Structure 1
Amino acid sequence: MKATTILLAGLAFGMSPTIAFAAPNAIAAAVAAPSRTPDNVKLDEGRKPAEVLDFFGLKKGMRVIDMFGANQYWAEMMAPVVGPRGKVVVWQPTQFINDERRAKFAAFVKRQKNVSLISSPFEAPELGTNAYDFMIMNLDYHDVYWQNPERKIVRMEPDAWLKTLYAAMKPGATVGIIDHVALPNADARATVQKLHRIDPEVLKADFQRAGFELVGVRNFLRNPADDHTLLVFDPVIRGKTDRIVYRFRKPR
């Protein structure tokens, strides 16, 4: 079925006229685009971006928030998919950005006009209200449990942090979360501090407590060979950690 046909059918059922399903090959084409950054392309084998974005339901015309996305990995693929009527806003904590990174992103924005960068302290994200149809957060949610005085990462309360994210999403919005898997445990802060991993049940409970509905889980990034006792940056497992993929939705 052609994208135009899908759009017309969607309008008949009350869909927003600004959001249509992307053409079936739009995501694959964006992943395969020769304009992508070579260093990011190298990450594809371990991240399976086409499968991830298809599962999360990225669509033409969406307004997207890409959390912790200043490396452009997801933005350079999502921007052509959402198209000129869509928007990709990258949020990067002030603790994780510097002048060099800002300059690189500015050069990217000159090429990709529907992308912009915003920044605010990790502990106090400023994202607006009812602003986004789609969020992606890749391998970063666990850091809400992390503290690091040298990096000026203060203690955060996950419930308060997620309240801000919930407010930023439109009713019906998709929130796609990927994170490193930890073994079941009762001390999320200690686990994150030591390994930068999170128990999937802790992550799921946090988002559900914030009001999000879990609407899908995929296992295509699971890795049974990961023994879960290594720091995610250990060369033995880096880029190949066992990962959970959750799709949440803000109720309408």
Structure 2
Amino acid sequence: MKRLILAAMLATGLAGAASTALADDALKSAIAGEHRSAANKARDTYRHPYETLTFFGIKPTMTVIELAPGGGWYTEILAPYLADKGKLIGGAPSAESRGGKAFRERLAGTPALYGKVTPAVFEPPSRFELGAPNSADMVVTFRNLHNWLGNGGDAAILTTFKEVHKVLKPGGVLGVVEHRLPAKMKQDEKASSGYMHEAYVIRLAEQAGFKLAAKSEINANPKDTADHEKGVWTLPPVLANKDKDREKYLAIGESDRMTLKFVKQ
């Protein structure tokens, strides 16, 4: 009997390891895919998509909501990764708005890649149509919190976090990447530089009912002093100063970023 139990445990462990390896390969394949442009792939060295998504604990069977996908840099990785066994929901403005229309046109324009992505209305701080309560496994957002703060203050972020808390299943994950302001520097009320205090983000998430599960330095950049003339947009890829000190900012690279994993209790 003991041998049978041991064999069953061993088989279960091997099956679990095989499943993890397949999921890992699928994520690497989505990141390396030919559908991604050379320009987007070049930013992997700063954005670390494999390490970041692995840190958040993503799996191909999950229902994942991406908030404010913007130009779709992460969407083009998440969409093929989740297409077969999971589900990707893109939280974007309504179809009546310019940004929402552009997002939906992007999905419709490449059905082979985005055909299974579901658009959802996300307009903080007033309109949230992300899904039924307790329906998502993970919600991710990348370098967006400063925009919400600028548009609606603390309340916009806190309300967003509360709505995310509702839509996540118990144990579900909120993954956040944001430009990080050193604690010794003052953050203004609208985060006009694009940078935010890590402690501030954690405090608002905890007020919304989340627990900080872990934080990572995957997307850290010690070269970034966060005191640039035109804020974070001084750095690549925007290079807001154009040719002025261009080589200096290229040498710094993209911004220093916090990477935070929260869990719904």
The TM-score with structure 1 as length reference comes to 0.81
Aligned to 1:138: 142
- Write the mapping of 1:143-162 to structure 2, written as runs, cut at 5 A: 143-147=147-151, 154-155=152-153, 157=155, 158-162=157-161
Find out whether 1:165 has 2:164 as its counterpart. Answer: yes
Q: CA contact under 8 A between 1:61 and 1:83: conserved in structure 2?
A: no
Aligned length: 232
RMSD: 2.7
Match for residue 122 of structure 1?
124
- Write out per-residue CA displacement over residues 68-108 of structure 1, whole angstroms, 9 at most, x where no aligned residue: 11422222212333342210001113567054443222223
- One-letter amino acid of the counterpart of residue 172, structure 1: G
Pairwise CA distance, 1:239: 5.8
> 53-62 or 80-89, which moves further after superposition?
80-89
Take 2:70 and 2:108, find their aligned partners in 1: how far apart are those partners? 10
Residues 100-127 of structure 1: per-residue CA shift (max 9 Å, x gap): 4432222234433321222342322221
Which residue in 1 is equivalent to 2:66?
Answer: 66
Consecutive aligned runs of 4 or more in structure 1 exceeding 4 Å deviation: 4-10, 185-189
Quick check: 1:204 aligned with 2:207? no
Q: Which residue of 2 aligns with 1:30?
A: 30
Task: Deviation per CA, 1:7-50: give whole Å up to 9, x if none.
Answer: 9659xxxxxxxxx6453322111111112244432321210101
TM-score by length of structure 2 reads 0.77
Which amino acid counterpart does residue 118 of structure 1 have in structure 2? A
Instruction: Classify 1:100/1:39 alpha carbon distance in 2 versus 1 (closer, same or farther; 3 Å).
Output: farther
CA 1:56/1:221 → structure 2, altered by over 3 Å: closer, same or farther? same
Say if 2:80 and 2:113, in contact at 8 Å, map to a contact too: no
CA contact (8 A) 2:153 2:190 kept: no
Compared CA separation, residues 40 and 243, structure 1 to 2 (3 A):
same
Q: Which protein is bigger by CA-based radius of gyration?
A: 2
What amino acid is the match of 1:112?
Y
Which residue in 2 is equivalent to 1:97?
99
Secondary structure in structure 1 of the residue aligned to 2:36: coil
- Quote the offset at 1:160 in angstroms: 2.4
The residue aligned with 1:150 is none
Gapped runs of 5+ residues in structure 1?
Answer: 11-19, 148-153
Return 5+ residue gaps in structure 2 as ranges: 1-10, 240-248
